[in-house]
Structure 1
Amino acid sequence: MFAYSSHLHSEDFSYQDSGVAWRLSSLFLQLIPFEKPNLTFCCIGTDRSTGDALGPLIGTWLRDHPTFPYEVIGTLQQPLHALNLQQTVESLQARTLSPYVVAIDACLGKVEKIGHIVIEKGPLFPGKAVKKELPPIGDLSIKGIVNVGGFQEYTVLQNTRLQLPYDMGKVLSRALLLAWQRYQMKMVRNSHDDRYHENAW
């Protein structure tokens, strides 16, 4: 849906960097509370626009992973987009146990930043780059810069080659799954350490 965010502090990675999935997973381990059962991934965008397919692609890959335990909203089959975003945000806010939301979206940026992944604490603002008034969403924002902004945004997003959102989505999905798997391994190690100390006494 092409997000916009005004946060000053952010982490920025090119999806083509060597070892980027591992480096992203290390950052996600620090920022995403995998211990929360109410962790929710909101993958924003639509399959009707090549440039805006990043979120639904990631949502589909996360949802299709056989053991990924967290709620995923927004897939190619059931996109999270301008028409249902307000209702989704209200539904999340109305829950008894407020979820921690990781919001993922495509965005526009400077030409030299195309292919970069931007991670920021705080919400993103879906649709702002294309002058849509939509509610902010997310405790953590993950944005993929898929094309250049500032001129004829709708045309730009319609004419973005699908290859870039697809490749960026693969990297991000891999990094998120890797972070979750690393979290699980850490929990197992901690459990073994606790048992060792108990037996030592």
Structure 2
Amino acid sequence: MKFSLFDYNNERSPLKISYEEHGVVQKLGLHLYHIFSNLPADQSIVLVCIGTDRSTGDSLGPLVGRNLRHISSFPNVMLFGTLDHPVHAMNLEQTFNEIKQKFFDPFIIAIDACLGQVSSVGYIQVGSGPLKPGAGVKKDLPAIGDIHITGIVNVGGFMEYFVLQNTRLNLVMRMSEVIADSIHTAIHLRSTRTPDISPLR
């Protein structure tokens, strides 16, 4: 299915917003909801939270997954990647193959940490198209996602492994909560479009 992130408005660049911005959950959640509203009501949404708890900075994805561990209570929503069962470099391809086998034409949202400029640390980005995990640390992993959500957890450009290991846990946890709450908000709004779908209790 062909899909444009910007079908619903005239913006020509991805959303980029600080996790500390006032009303960030509502703004990010509404942005995601507008994306979801372009999908068929019965199309599966698959969340793939990428990362590992062996590295503080790289734990953003699994923390988002942990915060969304009950999201599959919504119809046509599936989650891969939590603290208990992370999706990382060693099993990403296997996970992607499993998704392709289990779901017909799913809408995949890839969620991961990334590194960026000093001025961008703490920002959350929503972009159209697949995510290329591991690119910042020179890993060759399969691209995944119809859209992607990334959290800029630290500064990139040098000693990336060391930087990820020395990222503040508080920052990663707070960003993961914002991302998870925003996704939950968007999926809840999507679920109320049809009267026979009940929101998560």
TM value normalised by structure 2? 0.84
Q: 1:160 aligns with which of 157, 167, 173?
A: 167
Name the residue aligned to 2:94: 87
Structure 1 residues 117 and 36: CA distance shift in structure 2, 3 A:
farther
Q: Is the 8 A contact 1:105 1:143 kept in 2?
A: yes
Q: Secondary structure in 1 aligned to 2:194?
A: helix
Q: Sequence identity of aligned pairs in percent? A: 44
Structure 1 residues 38 and 186: CA distance shift in structure 2, 3 A:
closer
**Alignment RMSD, CA only?**
1.9
Instruction: Give CA-to-partner distance per residue, 1:114-169, whole Å, 9 cap, x none.
Output: 00001011101000000000000000100000000001000000010111110001
Rg comparison, structure with higher value: 1
Quote how far apart the aligned CAs of 1:97 are: 1.1
Name the residue aligned to 2:58: 52
Structure 1 ranges of 4+ moved more than 6 A: none
Name the residue aligned to 2:31: 27
Q: Secondary structure in 2 aligned to 1:125?
A: coil
Name the residue aligned to 1:197: none
Name the residue aligned to 2:192: 185
Structure 1 residues 34 and 47: CA distance shift in structure 2, 3 A:
farther
Name the residue aligned to 1:76: 83
Q: Is the 8 A contact 1:116 1:144 kept in 2?
A: yes
What letter corresponds to residue 23 of structure 1 in structure 2? K
What letter corresponds to residue 56 of structure 1 in structure 2? P
Quote how far apart the aligned CAs of 1:34 are: 7.7
Structure 2 gap ranges (5+): 1-11, 196-201
Name the residue aligned to 1:36: 42
In the alignment of these two chains, the number of paired residues is 182
Structure 1 gap ranges (5+): 1-7, 189-201
User: Larger % of helix: which?
Assistant: 1
Name the residue aligned to 2:106: 99
